Structure 1
Amino acid sequence: MRIRIEGSDLPGRTFGDHRGVHVAVQRRARSAELLDPRPGDAAAATWDLDCRVRETPDGLDVTGPCVQGGPGARFVYLSWGAVGDSGDFTMFRRAKLMLDGVDPGTLRAAARSGTLLGRLGLTDARGGPLCAAVRPPLIMWSAGTPDATG
């Protein structure tokens, strides 16, 4: 299965003292390994994450290179950072896309279809980069291919 994250409404390239703001998916247990950093002023940001789904006594469990946390508390980190002239990414904020917010029926349907799609706005209520634990209604989870879900 794959998890496809589609972010819209990015907050811009500046936040407080931070310039060159970018957002990326963080690899599990490797905070310096970032998947496809996107500039904070992009029209949209999309990431496709390979993962595995297995049946457990408590339901389906999702794991993979970019899935963080233990069983029952899995999530994907979106890391916000400033990219300087040297190209270095200095993280200043993260959002946790909580997989426990996915309805079990939606997760089962996604396992069958091969895609779990999460759509969210990336700007918080104060105009900054979205952070903290993110669950519905801030993120909408659905099953199927992006084309099939509209």
Structure 2
Amino acid sequence: MRIRIVGTELPGCKHDEYSNVHLGLQVRNEVVDRVRADVERAVFELDVNLVETPDGIDFRGPSVHGRRGERFLYLSWGNVEADGTWQMFRRAKLQLGAIDAELFSAPVVVGALALTDECGAPRCASVRPPRIEWSREG
């Protein structure tokens, strides 16, 4: 299954003591496709394998984290230091179990969310509807 994450309303590059905030998709232990937190929109695309198990559908792939039945994607927030090093300071967990099974056959499943929380900070913690809207492309 192809997933496209579309994030809008990014919080900007300054947060607390950080002045060069970026956002990226965590693949295994690496944060990839990083974008500055002041862009208009952040888009991440990835493939997730759907596996039939006795308990139902399971999600697998290098971007998938968590135990069976509790799988999620990480969007990781970090500061890029002057020397280019990445210092992660928070993550959002996009809960895959919240995707309606009717969407599994779609060519692309889109997760749309605002990336600034209600306090004006980078969105973090577990993200489920209504904070993310899962739909089919088109």
Instruction: Settle same-fold status: TM greater than 0.5.
Output: yes
1:85 corresponding residue in structure 2: 82
Aligned residues: 138
Inter-partner Cα distance in structure 2 for 1:126 and 1:95: 15
Q: What do the CA deviations read for 1:7-50 (whole angstroms, capped 9, x no partner)?
A: 0000000001111000001112x1xx112001010000000012
Q: CA deviation at 1:4?
A: 0.8
Structure 2: segments with no counterpart, 5+ residues: none
Runs of 4+ in structure 1 over 2 Å off = none
Inter-partner Cα distance in structure 2 for 1:54 and 1:116: 16
Percent identity, please.
Answer: 46
2:108 corresponding residue in structure 1: 115
Q: State the SS of the aligned residue for 1:13.
A: coil
Inter-partner Cα distance in structure 2 for 1:127 and 1:98: 22
1:20 corresponding residue in structure 2: 20
Inter-partner Cα distance in structure 2 for 1:138 and 1:58: 27
Greater per-residue helix proportion? 1
Inter-partner Cα distance in structure 1 for 2:61 and 2:2: 9
The one-letter amino acid paired with 2:123 is L
Q: What do the CA deviations read for 1:97-134 (whole angstroms, capped 9, x no partner)?
A: 011222233xxx33x22322100000000000000000
Inter-partner Cα distance in structure 1 for 2:123 and 2:89: 12
Q: State the SS of the aligned residue for 2:65.
A: coil
Which of 58, 61, 71 matches 2:58? 61
Q: State the SS of the aligned residue for 1:42.
A: coil
The one-letter amino acid paired with 2:54 is P
Q: State the SS of the aligned residue for 2:90.
A: strand
TM-score of the aligned structures, taking structure 2 as reference length: 0.95
Which of 124, 127, 131 matches 1:131? 124
Inter-partner Cα distance in structure 2 for 1:119 and 1:61: 22
1:72 corresponding residue in structure 2: 69
Which of 95, 100, 114 matches 2:97? 100
